[in-house]
Structure 1
Amino acid sequence: MTNVPTTLSTVVDPSRIDDDTDGRTLRRKRNRDAVIASLISLIEEGDLDPTVAKIADRAAVSHRSIFRYFDDLDDLARTAIETAVRDALPLAIIPGVGEGSLDHRIEGMVASRLRILRRTKQLIRVAHGKATALPEIDRSLSNVAEMTCDQFHRHFAVELSEMDPAEAEHLVAALGSQLGFEGYDFQSRMLSRTDEEIADSWRVLLRRVLR
């Protein structure tokens, strides 16, 4: 008579279960990341409101599967924007922040602002459009604005220390706006100015107010 296995361990190899589970987890993460990257790339290419079909086709996943990875399109947009902004933040780093002559520091600030705004301008435009309905995106934008102002404080600490503290705070807020997305978008999209022209206007502004 043939012996019949009497325990589960003799029927199923536990290591196989772990391997299968890990494989599914990795596939899910890979597909989820592909969907996020797909939306980011479409927005960066100028499609600010891509359809589910476009996102899924770019990510090489089924249309229906997108909603297994995200609650809805707003959840996907929020995740994509937060991911893109986080990944782009190193572009805003100024080597030797606060060091060197004023002209040297101005060049560092201008280069930093252009790098990050070139990379994120389309995503930030989408983020502003969704911020009123999605508090998480609004908070992310506020955090970026605060980091920008903190960078101005540290990079131009010498000049700001010579001002009345309240005046210095007002100036930093104004500079953060002018060299932020709003100022960049105003010059680039509304005035059709090139990045080189925008950079020149920022240099003039910084020299005028900090000397």
Structure 2
Amino acid sequence: MTRGDAMALSGEAPAGDLNAGDLTVRSARSDGRNRRAAETRRRILAAAKEMIAETSTAPTVVAVAKRADVSVRSVFQHFGDVESLFVTTVDSIGQDLVIPPPTSQGLSLEFRIATAVENLARLFDKIIPLRVAAGQFAHHPALIERSNGLRLEVRRRVAELFAPEFAPLSEEAREELADAIGGALSLEAWVVLRRRDGLSFDRAAAAWRRTLAALLAHRADAAAAA
């Protein structure tokens, strides 16, 4: 088969024979495919986030496809498997969350406690459906990594906000106090108060304010006695 015959059968012109118009058409087609793919991906993620918010369960690929009005095959083409879809949804929800700026250390302890609890509780209230839905993927490495990252960020912010209260303590006492606050004001603890115990947001937040105040006061008294 000669080169000319091969090109005739393929229906394509050699690269050297392409003109500006051909390149423009190909570029437009490529851009169109990319836009459609991006829109499909956006609809899949939006459907998954909506279903998690409504049901606090990890949606199936079939359910997400139906909600997004796409084929099951499209979901697998974009995410590979249900675990990848869930992890990507977690990251997408995380990008939507806004962590409030830190409160000044110069304000009263009572105000700092109230502000810290309010901000953390508001953040965790948005995450609860996702945390509950993640139960079946609890041991997924990517989710463990993100959970640890959130825990360390909360610990860092607490130590920063209450630096005046941490300062008089020994290094060991500071670590113990940070551990105690981290355990008492964790996402898991908030899930217990809101979902298991059925407390309203205000009652759960009040319990956290008392807990945080008691932990800080206990350590302050211990430091003074020492």
Asked if TM exceeds 0.5, the reply is yes
Q: Sequence identity of aligned pairs in percent?
A: 25
Aligned residues: 204
Q: How far apart, in 1, do the equivalents of 2:77 and 2:110 lie?
A: 52
Q: What amino acid is aligned across from residue 164 of structure 1 in structure 2?
A: S
User: How far did residue 50 of structure 1 move?
Assistant: 2.0
**Residues 172 and 129 of structure 1, relative CA distance in 2, 3 Å threshold:** farther
**Residues 97 and 138 of structure 1, relative CA distance in 2, 3 Å threshold:** farther
Partner of 1:71: 80
User: How far did residue 12 of structure 1 move?
Assistant: 5.5
Q: How far apart, in 1, do the equivalents of 2:56 and 2:186 lie?
A: 22
Partner of 1:189: 195
Partner of 1:83: 92
**Residues 22 and 97 of structure 1, relative CA distance in 2, 3 Å threshold:** farther
Equivalent residue for 1:150, pick from 145, 156, 180: 156
Q: What do residues 131-163 of structure 1 show as CA deviations (whole Å, max 9, x unaligned)?
A: 31x211111111111001001011111101122
User: How far did residue 171 of structure 1 move?
Assistant: 1.6
Q: Which of 43-52 and 93-102 deviates more? A: 93-102
Q: What amino acid is aligned across from residue 131 of structure 2 in structure 1?
A: I
Q: How far apart, in 2, do the equivalents of 1:11 and 1:156 lie?
A: 64
User: How far did residue 23 of structure 1 move?
Assistant: 1.5
**Residues 97 and 39 of structure 1, relative CA distance in 2, 3 Å threshold:** farther
Q: What do residues 37-93 of structure 1 show as CA deviations (whole Å, max 9, x unaligned)?
A: 2111101111503222321122221222101101101110111112212321x2x32
Question: Is the 2:52–2:58 Cα contact (8 Å) retained in structure 1?
Answer: yes
Provide structure 1 residue ranges, at least 5 long, that are not aligned to the other structure.
none
Q: Tell me, yes or no, if structure 1 residue 120 matches structure 2 residue 120.
A: no
Q: How far apart, in 1, do the equivalents of 2:56 and 2:195 lie?
A: 16
Q: Tell me, yes or no, if structure 1 residue 103 matches structure 2 residue 110.
A: yes
User: How far did residue 105 of structure 1 move?
Assistant: 0.7
Q: Tell me, yes or no, if structure 1 residue 33 matches structure 2 residue 42.
A: yes
Provide structure 2 residue ranges, at least 5 long, that are not aligned to the other structure.
1-12, 218-226
Question: Is the 1:44–1:123 Cα contact (8 Å) retained in structure 2?
Answer: yes
Question: Is the 2:180–2:215 Cα contact (8 Å) retained in structure 1?
Answer: no
User: How far did residue 99 of structure 1 move?
Assistant: 4.0
**Residues 138 and 128 of structure 1, relative CA distance in 2, 3 Å threshold:** farther
Equivalent residue for 1:55, pick from 49, 64, 67: 64
Question: Is the 1:113–1:180 Cα contact (8 Å) retained in structure 2?
Answer: no
Root mean square deviation of aligned Cα: 2.0
| Structure with greater Cα Rg | 2
